[in-house]
Amino acid sequence: MSNYPFWLGGVAASMAACCTHPLDLTKVRMQTLSHSGGPKRPSTFAVLRYSIAESGFRSLYTGLTASLMRQMSYSLVRLGSYEKIKYALASDGTASATKLVAAAALAGGLGGIAGNPADILLVRMTSDSVRPPEKRYGYRNALQGLVRLVGDEGIPGLARGLVPNVTRAVLMNVSQVGSYDFFKSALLSHRIPVVNYQMRDNLLCHFTASTLAGTVATTVCSPADVIKSRLMAMSGKVSPIDVLKESLRNEGPVFLFKGWTPAFIRLVPNTILMFVFFEQLKKQWRHFTTS
């Protein structure tokens, strides 16, 4: 059974988010930009350059308070509950791939529900500058945004985009957290061919497993992530199916992977940092509690 606090994963994810927030902002802006032919789609670096040119380098950290709120709700729940559920399912001492997937899926769904309000704020705050001035939300920070969200749209507004967000959260936890556990176990239990090297539970192992997990997660989660971002950026009553049909009609299937490059550039470092921080925090906690 895990012997570290439930909230430790949220702290690790928050630390990682502080490092990768500009890339998360770029990803959301690319996903919410509509494209129906004509000029070439803006590239990752074009959106970055535009953001800096418009409002300066500090603008890349727009919405950081919402990002931290999201990590301390969504990531705290998905990482903390994953460990609890995994150990409950593996009470017989075996943690098969099926059990890892089941634990990660359930924990991801719980995290998606817990983090949905903060996710709405994050999407709106990071995409505000690419919206027409009259349609901008203008949230100063996450707490003020949360109050305004409830005041303007009521309690049901907190559930905007909940279905695609929970879907994405399940996919993310399975493809990121579940695959990290799988890759880490595989690396520790098999010698690497050619070089005949046996990995140990150290920084190199954590780095390798998290890099592989981040690549898997980026590809698996992209379609749900794009639909979720577009839904949350809107204020009217729109269903995921409406967004899917309209985007397919205007942009084709390629829209499902819009923002894949910044998502990859963001998610892989974020995954590496999150799990490295998480493993180090767990190590320090064990040292603290046993000394």
pLDDT in tens, 73-86: 999 999 999 988 98
Structure confidence at residue 198 as a pLDDT band (50, 70, 90): confident
| CA 93 – CA 184 distance, rounded (Å) | 17
Task: Count the Cβ atoms, other than its own, within 10 Å of residue 86.
Answer: 22
Q: What is the pLDDT of residues 211-262, one digit of tens each?
A: 999 999 998 888 888 887 787 777 677 788 888 888 888 888 878 888 788 7
Q: What is the pLDDT of residues 157-196, one digit of tens each?
A: 999 989 888 988 999 999 999 899 889 988 998 876 655 6
pLDDT score at 34: 57
Q: Which of 99-103, 105-109, 128-132, 194-198 is the least confident region?
A: 194-198
pLDDT top residue among 24 and 44:
24
Q: Which of 191, 197, 198, 172 is nearest to 274 (CA)?
A: 172
| Domains, the chain, ordered by start | 8-290 (1.50.40.10)
As a whole number, mean pLDDT of residues 67-96 equals 88
Q: What is the mean pLDDT of the chain?
A: 85
At what angle are helices 8-32 and 203-233 packed, to 10 degrees? 50
pLDDT score at 36: 47
pLDDT score at 98: 84
Backbone angles phi, psi at 268, to 5 degrees: -65, -50
As a whole number, mean pLDDT of residues 33-53 equals 65
pLDDT score at 57: 79
pLDDT score at 46: 76
| CA 31 – CA 260 distance, rounded (Å) | 9
Q: What is the pLDDT of residues 138-152, one digit of tens each?
A: 898 999 999 999 999
| CA 155 – CA 147 distance, rounded (Å) | 10
pLDDT top residue among 264 and 12:
12
Q: Is the pLDDT of residue 5 over 60?
A: yes
Kindly state the percentage of the chain with pLDDT values over 90. 41
As a whole number, mean pLDDT of residues 118-137 equals 87
pLDDT top residue among 3 and 87:
87
Q: Which of 112, 24, 8 is nearest to 66 (CA)?
A: 24
pLDDT score at 168: 86
